Amino acid sequence: YKPIDTSKEESRILTLSVDGSAYALLVESAEDMGHIERENYESVEKNNDMIAGFYKQQNRICQVIDTEAVCHSIALQSYTPIEVEEMNSLEETMKEHSSSNTTMERFLFFRLGEESFALPLYLTREIIFVPDNFTPLSETKEEVIGIITLRDELITTLSLPKVFGYSETLTEPQQRLLIVFHEGKSLALLVDEVEDVKDIPLDDLEQAHMNQKGSKIEALYKTQSSITSVIDSFYIRDMILQYHIQDEKENNFTKNEKEGEEMVEVVVFGIDKEEYALDIENVQEIIKYCEVTPIPEAPQFVEGMINLRGAVIPIISLPDRLGFTKNVTEESKILVSIIEDEKVGLFVDEVKEILSVENRFISRSKSEDSLFSEILNLENGKRVILKLRNSNIIDSQTLDKIRTEEEALV
């Protein structure tokens, strides 16, 4: 092969670790990154060659390089990496400096196939159930499912699994539609499952240097157990503008904004067979249910406490608080909220959706002492959702007692 032209924008360096040593492979371009399906991989007998096997894709066969053989062939003494203490100390200094001024951004995490993805929450107007029917569109791309009507607004619906090359069916109960918006225009994106809402330090995002999935991925968020692909916000905005349906009359959402009509945004969750809600500004994160450490002499509805990234927070069982029986399932979630300047986790059976509700569908309680602040009357009275008053979920005296018990345990 000819020497690689490093002046070209497509050239990339792939870094890897073999036997505890770091190596870098210079390639002409990086095309894709993903998991190998075992049934499409065929290994070859070990010899002096540097090919470990072949991977069959739809239209081609890829040679799989034996990275161990390649790296051992160049592992000369002169290539052994050395530690540069001054550079390391400078890097650590920069990290310490940046950590004190870390910028946080809230992301919505969801699943496509078996992979984890995220996008900035500010792009998401609401999350809704998948309707039974879509209005089909003729002569459209494969990823276009059809049109839905949401409060008299016509919205194009795309299958995000198909956009990213995954298979898709419309039969899974955990599937949701993300209503994303930009410049008053909306688009519905089908995802396989909504997982979490998290505040992420932007310094923890690793820039995606490769042209992954056709410039759809902006960054990677890595933890010990998973890697999440962060979708480029500009790519989402471009899709919204591309697929927005230009209606002859302005839709209700845009009209309400122009006329100053306030919309209340809420997180809707289920307990037993009932639906409840919290203002979205009262929900910092949505995390999966995890093991809880009991707190001695706590009220029945205070389940215990968990360690969330170094912070100990109490967990309140909303089913017990509201008089239901707690039932832990795979759909169970913890809503991380702020009550009296204290982080508190609220256990719920499941998180259903994020809704924007017009004021005309809201009845407000006159009592400030009530646990429920508002009633959301939707779908012509067929759907009634009680919205909790965050400050009345637990009283200050009980919260002080929990703090004391936590300090004793920690």
Range 104-258 classified under CATH 1.10.10.10: no
What is the DSSP code string of 90-113? HHHHHHHHHHTTPPEEEEEEEEET
Phi/psi at 188 (nearest 5 deg)?
-100, 130
Task: Give the model's pLDDT for residue 160.
Answer: 93
CA 403 to CA 339: how far, in whole Å? 13
Residue 393, Ramachandran bin (φ over 0: left; ψ between -120 and 50: alpha; else beta): alpha
- What is the residue type of 185? K
Phi/psi at 97 (nearest 5 deg)?
-65, -40
Task: Give the model's pLDDT for residue 271.
Answer: 93
Task: Give the model's pLDDT for residue 409.
Answer: 61
Tokens representing 60 are: 């081609």
CATH for 263-409 is 2.40.50.180
CA 199 to CA 403: how far, in whole Å? 24
Neighbours of 242 (CB within 10 A): 11
Q: Cβ(192)–Cβ(110) under 8 Å? A: yes
CA 30 to CA 28: how far, in whole Å? 7
Q: Would you report the helix, strand and coil content of the chain in percent, each value rounded to 5?
A: 20, 45, 35
Name which of 70, 64, 66, 67 is nearest 42 in CA terms: 64
pTM flag (> 0.75): no
Task: Give the model's pLDDT for residue 138.
Answer: 64
Instruction: Dump strand ranges (E) for 293-400.
Output: 302-308, 311-317, 333-339, 342-348, 350-358, 362-364, 372-378, 383-388
Task: Give the model's pLDDT for residue 86.
Answer: 38
Phi/psi at 314 (nearest 5 deg)?
-75, 150
Name which of 256, 344, 261 is nearest 306 in CA terms: 344
Q: Is 173 in a helix, a strand, or coil?
A: coil
Task: Give the model's pLDDT for residue 149.
Answer: 85
Going residue by residue through the chain (410 aa), what tens digit of pLDDT does each one get? 667 777 676 677 777 777 766 677 888 877 666 667 777 778 877 655 678 887 777 667 788 888 877 776 654 443 344 333 333 433 443 344 444 456 889 899 999 988 999 999 989 988 988 888 888 776 678 889 988 888 778 899 999 999 988 876 666 788 999 999 988 889 999 999 998 888 888 889 988 765 454 578 989 999 888 899 999 999 999 999 888 876 544 444 444 444 455 788 899 999 988 999 999 989 988 998 988 888 877 888 999 889 888 888 999 999 999 988 899 998 999 999 988 888 899 999 999 988 888 888 888 887 788 888 898 988 877 888 999 998 899 888 888 887 777 666 65
Tokens representing 70 are: 């390649």
Question: Where does the chain hold its CATH 2.40.50.180 domain(s)?
Answer: 104-258, 263-409
CA 233 to CA 218: how far, in whole Å? 8
